[in-house]
Amino acid sequence: MLKIFTVVGARPQIIKSAAITRRIAETFSHSIVETLIHTGQHYDAAMSDQFFTELGVPPPAKNLAVGSGSHGAQTAKMLTALEELFLAERPDCVLIYGDTNSTVAAALAAAKIDIPVAHVEAGMRSFDKRMPEETNRVLSDHASTFLFCPTDIAVANLVREGFPIHSERATINMPFVANIGDVMFDNALRYTAEDQKIRMIQEVEIGEKPFALVTLHRAANTVDVKMVSDLFETLAKLSEHSGLEFFFPVHPRTLSMLNKSKEELNITFENSGLTFLKPMGYRDIIWAARNAKVVITDSGGLQKEAAFFNTPSVVVRPETEWVELVEAGLVLLSGRELPEMRAALDCQIKFQGYLPQGIYGNGNAAGAICELLLTHLG
Ligand code: UD1
């Protein structure tokens, strides 16, 4: 039996890991045993627990309850707790996802005690090291033995950094690098929520009226109260300008800034065309991404989930790791200023194109990962 420890901590990792957990249960239960470890980076029920329930995967075997903190403090707590656990249990492999502090902590803890690390979503680069996620990505990749890339561009990024492409047995010095497709595409195919004409999300009726789905949570867009309230004023104007209703499931970090802007600046966004929601469940967000006229976001995951359904996005960031979506016209990058956002929104509302076929695999990335781990480590 191949003993895998999967480490998750943030909302998108729970969603991504569900694809592999399910695949192990369906096809590989005779050869792989997986233990799910939650670092506790995300801890609100709406950011964590609800996903296990709705994706039908068992809750984590262990929660390290690390909680929020500065980057260093949070990562250090995870590193200590994970190392202790890995030393005691000696898994054959540690499986990690994406680019969060939980990812890099697990990668460092395992690699330093000679446990192979398998990184899902390897090779993604924004080429902006001011983003904490970029540091996490680069460090995690360079501590990994398996670099499971979601696109050819991700493979090319790693080749540029000196990773070899070969067919030998993978080791930390001779890691395995390949495009195996995107586990998020596996999920989207599986969980495409039922399409209904009128639908309620958190007691808000989403009717016939065209709408935009909006999410913003990145550190760079939530630096202080003034930035957040300016951004929301811009969004309110854009809602009026476009005639679209803006549905906004709010991340806890953004919510705390909004609450402060009420207290400190006396600004509220009631009657502004913005409808605020709690963080959405996975099926709801997939449904909303599919049915929205346009998505406005700074999330790496959501811009791609929207694109799976040919929904265009305005991405409020200077760059994106998913450059193929920019090329396809599905993503248009924008700054935070009103004229630039208005021009981007006007352009994306008219978008008529499609996601190029096969760029995120064939919906079986999870199966490919299981087979490759068994071939190399089994
Ligand atoms: C983290 C990831 C980011 C990812 C995002 C997905 C890092 C560096 N960033 O960002 O790459 O896109 O997860 O959602 O790992 N908070 C709560 N309740 C929670 C979780 C967080 O209130 O359950 C609040 C806390 O005030 C916390 C803040 O949100 O300090 C930020 O949380 P954190 O996990 O540090 O980063 P995210 O912005 O969620």
The predicted model gives 218-245 an average pLDDT of: 94
Of 135, 189, 143, 133, the residue nearest 163 (C-alpha):
143
Query: Which residue type is seen at 42?
Result: H
Minimal-distance CA residue to ligand 1 atom 12: 299
Give the mean pLDDT of the chain: 94
From 70, 133, 253, 299, the mutation candidate for ligand 1 (largest count of ligand atoms within 8 A of CB) is: 253
Question: pLDDT tens digits for 311-361?
Answer: 999 999 999 999 999 999 999 999 999 999 999 999 999 999 999 999 999
Predicted confidence (pLDDT) per residue in 128-174, tens digit:
999 999 999 999 999 999 999 999 999 999 999 999 999 999 999 99
Query: Of all protein residues, whose CA lies closest to atom 9 belonging to ligand 1?
Result: 100
Residue in the block written with tokens 């994706």: 55
Ligand 1 atom showing the smallest separation from residue 103 Cα:
15
Query: Residue 206 Cα, ligand 1 centroid: separation in angstroms?
Result: 28
One-letter amino acid identity for 22?
R
CA separation for the pair 342, 332 (Å, rounded): 12
Strands 313-315 and 62-63: unpaired
Question: What crossing angle do the helices spanning 101-112 and 132-142 adopt, rounded to 10°?
Answer: 20
Q: Measured between alpha carbons, how far is 289 from 313 in angstroms, rounded to an integer?
A: 10
Residue 245 · residue 209 · CB < 8 Å: yes
pLDDT tens column, 263-317? 888 777 777 889 999 999 888 898 899 999 999 999 999 999 999 999 999 999 9
pTM over 0.75: yes
Mean pLDDT of the 182-197 span: 78
Going by alpha carbons, the residue nearest to atom 15 of ligand 1 is: 100
| Least confident interval from 248-252, 281-285, 330-334, 369-373 | 281-285
Atom of ligand 1 nearest to the CA of 219: 38
Our answer to whether residue 251 is catalytic in this structure is: no
pLDDT score at 208:
74
* Higher-scoring residue by pLDDT: 349, 54: 349
Cα(86)–Cα(59) distance, integer angstroms: 19
The closest alpha carbon to 285, from 186, 151, 181, 187, belongs to 187
Pocket test for ligand 1, best of 16, 63, 68, 102 (most atoms within 8 A of CB): 68
The conformation of residue 28, written as its DSSP 8-state character, comes to I
- Mutation probe of ligand 1 site: the residue of 217, 250, 257 with most atoms within 8 A of C-beta: 217
Which has the closest alpha carbon to 53: 4, 14, 23? 14
Q: How far is the CA of 317 from the centre of ligand 1 (A)?
A: 17
The pLDDT of residue 203 is above 60: yes
CB-based contacts of 330, cutoff 8 Å, min separation 6: 303, 306, 307, 310, 311, 312, 313, 351, 353, 355
3-state class (DSSP) for residue 5:
strand
How far is residue 108 from each of residues 75, 141, 198, 253, 284, measured CA to CA in Å?
10, 10, 47, 27, 34
Q: Atom 22 in ligand 1: which residue has the minimum CA distance?
A: 252
In degrees, to the nearest 5, what angle opens at C-alpha 252 toward C-alphas 251 and 253? 90
Residue 23 is inside which H or E element, if any? helix 11-23
Distance 293 CA to ligand 1 centre (A): 27
Closest CA to 80 of 60, 59, 61, 108: 108
How does residue 88 score in pLDDT terms, banded at 50, 70 and 90? very high
- Residue 209 has what pLDDT? 83
Nearest-CA residue for ligand 1 atom 5 is: 10
Among positive and negative, which fits the CA dihedral 138, 52, 65, 114?
A: negative
Total count of residues recorded for the chain: 378
C-alpha 10 – ligand 1 centre gap (Å): 7
State how beta strands 199-201 and 2-8 pair.
Answer: unpaired
Q: Which atom of ligand 1 is nearest to the CA of 251?
A: 29
Query: Tokens 């993604």 — which residue?
Result: 124
CB 127 within 8 A of CB 47: no
Rounded-to-integer distance, Cα 92 and Cα 97, Å: 17
> Is there a contact between 23 and 367 (Cβ–Cβ < 8 Å)?
yes
- The CB-side HSE value for 42 (13 A sphere, CA atoms) comes to 22
Ligand 1 nearest atom to the CA of residue 222, by list position: 38
Residue 195 confidence (pLDDT) above 60: no
Provide residues with CB under 6 Å of ligand 1. Answer: 10-12, 41-44, 47, 68, 99-101, 132-133, 217, 252-253
Helix/strand/coil percentages in the chain, nearest 5: 45, 15, 40
